[in-house]
Structure 1
Amino acid sequence: MQGGAGPRAGTSKGGVRELVWGYLESSGLAERPRPVHGRIPNFKGSHQACCSIKELDAFSRASVIKVDPDKPLEGVRLAALQARKTLLVPTPRLRSGLFNQIVPPSGATKEILRICATSQGIKEYSVPVGLDGKVRVDLVVVGSVAVSEKGWRIGKGEGYADMEYAMMVSMGAVKEETPVVTIVHDCQVLDIAEELLDDHDLTVDYILTPTRTIKTNCKRPKPQGIIWHKVSYEMLAKIPILKSLRYKEKQTGKDVTLQDEHPDLANASKSAALNEKAMPGNTRPQAAMGSAQMGQHSSFLKNKLNFG
C-alpha cells in the first residue's frame, strides 16, 4: 500500500476498529472471549501489561480506582484489590447507576481476590454506589480498541467509557488532572488522525502494553462534562442516572437541551452515523505471522492504516 501523510481516504473509527480486531484474530494474539470483534479485545500478554500498573506513581498514590469491567483489565482489578484500594467498576451499560464497588469478603484469600476481579466476581461481590456518595476517583483505567502515543483513544464504538467519564466530571468525582490509563497490546498502539476525534472522546495519560509503559503527555483536553446536545431521549431512557444528573445540572442553570430538541443537530448526527457505516474502512488485514515481534505487529497495522 502506498505511503503518505495522514490516513488513507475513507479511514474512519469503524475502519480502525475492524482492522485491529481482524489483525488480533488473524495473528493469533486474540484471547477469550472470542471473537474479539465488537469488544474491548482481550489479548495475549494482557496480564503482564496490567501488572505494570503497580509501577506507576499514580497507582501507588491512588486510594480509589475506577476500572472498566473488560476482560483484559482483570489484572488491574486484581492489583487494586491486592493493594487494598477501593475498586469501582461501572454498572453494566449504566442501566442501574454509575458505579459498583467491589467488596471482597472479610479475610479473603488470594484465590477469592482473583475471583472478585473477574466478571463473575463483579456480580457476586459488588455493592452499588449511590449518586450522592460524594465519590472522588483518583485513577481511571479504561479499555481501548486502538490508542495513539499522543493519548488519543478509540473504544469499541458504544461510547460508554466516554459517557462514564463525562458523568464522573458532572458528579465531581474526577478533575482534569485525574490520570487515565489504558491497557492494550503493542499492535493496538497506532497513529490516529486527530480529525477522527470528537470533543466528547476521552484521552489517556498512560498506555500500558506487554512491553512498554508510555506516558503520553496528552495536550488534548478531556471532556468537561456531559455534552447534553449530543444526548438523545433514547439514551436518557437507557441510562436512568442521566436523568438525575440532567435535573441537577438544570437546577444550576446549565443548558441541558437534548439532541432531539435541536433538529439540526439530530439530523447532522444521523448523517454522520450513516456516513461512517458507509465508509470503506472495514477492510480486514491479511493474516500475519503469529511469531512476529511486537514492533512488527504495530508496524503492520500502521502500514495498513497508511499513516505517516
Structure 2
Amino acid sequence: MSESVAELPSSYSMKTDWTGYHHDKDELRAEIWSLLKQHAASIGDPFGHIPNFVGAQVAAERLANLPIWQQAKTIKCNPDSPQIPVRMRALQEGKRLYMAVPRLTSTRCFVELTAEDLQRKNISIAESAIARQALACGKLVSFAEMEPIDLVIVGCVAAGPGGGRTGKGAGFADLELAMLQEFGLVQIDTPIVTTVHPLQIVPDSRLPMQAHDWALNWIVTAEEVIETNTSYPRPIGLNWDSIRPEQLEQIPILRKLREKLTNNQ
C-alpha cells in the first residue's frame, strides 16, 4: 500500500457521493480500490463500491463454520454484492435475514427475508439473496416489527485487525447499528463481522475510529479468521452531534426519531 493517491490511475481520483468528510479515509479507500484492481482481486470495477472480491464465496463458508454464525437465528446483513454468498447461506440454513433498504430511504428501512416466506411465494433463495430482488420479494419492516439480532455482517472497503473499519464513507452501517441499538435489537455484545479480501486488511493506524463508529469483532477472508478483540468502545445509541444535515434530510426514520426526541423533552 505504498503508492500515494497522486500516483493512482486517473479513474481513482474521481469523487464518490461521500468524498470529503475524512481526507485520510478517502485516501485509504482510493488505495484499496486501486490495489484490488491492480491485482485482479475484484469482480467488476471496485471503485465507489463495497468491493465484490475474489474469494467471497469461500469467505462466506469460513464464516459459516464459526460458532457465532451457527448459534445465530436472526442475522442482519448489508445489501452489497460481496455478501451475496453470506445472505444466501443464511437463508439456506433457515435463519431470519434482515437487510437495510439502500440509503435507508424508507421509514420501514429493513427488508425481512425467510426461507419459509420465499418458498410460499415460489421465489428461489439464490434470487432473493441479490439485493434488488430482496427488495422486491422481501417484507419491508419497521424497527417495531423486527426480532432481536444475533449477528451483524457489515460491508467494508478496509478493515484493521484491531476492529477499525470503513465503508464507502456514507456512514450508513454506523447509523443502522445505532438505530437498531436504540430499539433494543442490537446489544452491547452482538458480534459484528465482515468478509473481505486480504488486500483490504490494513494497519490499525490507517483507520482512526470516532465516537460514533462501530468496530468489528471478527474479520473473515478466504484464507483466515481474525478475532479482533477490539478495544474500541461501542457507541450507545444515536450520536446526534455526528449526524450530518443531509443525512437528516434524506433519511425519513432519522427525522421521525428526532421529532420523537424533541417532543419528549
Answer whether TM exceeds 0.5 for this pair: yes
| Matched residue, 1:78 | 88
| Matched residue, 2:215 | 203
Q: Given the alignment of the two structures, is residue 56 of structure 1 paired with residue 69 of structure 2, yes or no?
A: no
Identify if the C-alpha distance between structure 1 residues 81 and 123 changes in structure 2 by more than 3 Å, giving closer, same or farther.
Answer: same
Q: Given the alignment of the two structures, is residue 192 of structure 1 paired with residue 204 of structure 2, yes or no?
A: yes
Q: How does 1:116-127 map to 2 (within 5 A)?
A: 116-127=128-139
| Matched residue, 1:38 | 48
Distance 2:191 2:31 in 1: 28
1:134: how far off? 4.9
Identify if the C-alpha distance between structure 1 residues 181 and 114 changes in structure 2 by more than 3 Å, giving closer, same or farther.
Answer: same
| Matched residue, 2:119 | 106
Distance 1:150 1:210 in 2: 19
Code of the residue aligned with 2:70 in structure 1: it is S
Identify if the C-alpha distance between structure 1 residues 237 and 188 changes in structure 2 by more than 3 Å, giving closer, same or farther.
Answer: same
What 5-or-longer segments of structure 2 have no aligned partner? 3-21
The aligned length equals 243
Instruction: Give the secondary-structure state (helix, strand or coil) at the position aligned to 1:106.
Output: helix
1:132: how far off? 2.0
Deviations 1:45-79 (A, max 9, x none): 01110111211111111111000000000111011
Question: Higher Cα Rg: structure 1 or 2?
Answer: 1
1:116: how far off? 1.0
Q: How does 1:105-254 map to 2 (within 5 A)?
A: 105-106=118-119, 112-193=124-205, 196-251=208-263, 253=265
Identify if the C-alpha distance between structure 1 residues 221 and 252 changes in structure 2 by more than 3 Å, giving closer, same or farther.
Answer: farther
Distance 1:200 1:164 in 2: 11
What 5-or-longer segments of structure 1 have no aligned partner? 3-9, 254-308
CA contact (8 A) 2:110 2:141 kept: yes
CA contact (8 A) 2:164 2:208 kept: no
1:90 to 97, 100, 106: 100
Code of the residue aligned with 1:73 in structure 2: it is Q
Query: What CA RMSD, in Å, does the superposition of the two structures yield over aligned residues?
Result: 2.2
CA contact (8 A) 2:111 2:135 kept: no
Identify if the C-alpha distance between structure 1 residues 31 and 194 changes in structure 2 by more than 3 Å, giving closer, same or farther.
Answer: closer
Deviations 1:163-182 (A, max 9, x none): 11111111111011000000
Greater RCO, CA 8 A, separation 6+:
1
CA contact (8 A) 1:12 1:196 kept: no
Distance 1:174 1:151 in 2: 18
| Matched residue, 2:29 | 17
TM score, norm. by length of structure 1: 0.74
TM score, norm. by length of structure 2: 0.85
1:122: how far off? 1.0
Identity rate, percent: 33
Deviations 1:243-296 (A, max 9, x none): 22223334554xxxxxxxxxxxxxxxxxxxxxxxxxxxxxxxxxxxxxxxxxxx
Q: Provide runs of 4+ in structure 1 moved above 4 Å.
A: none
Distance 2:147 2:211 in 1: 25
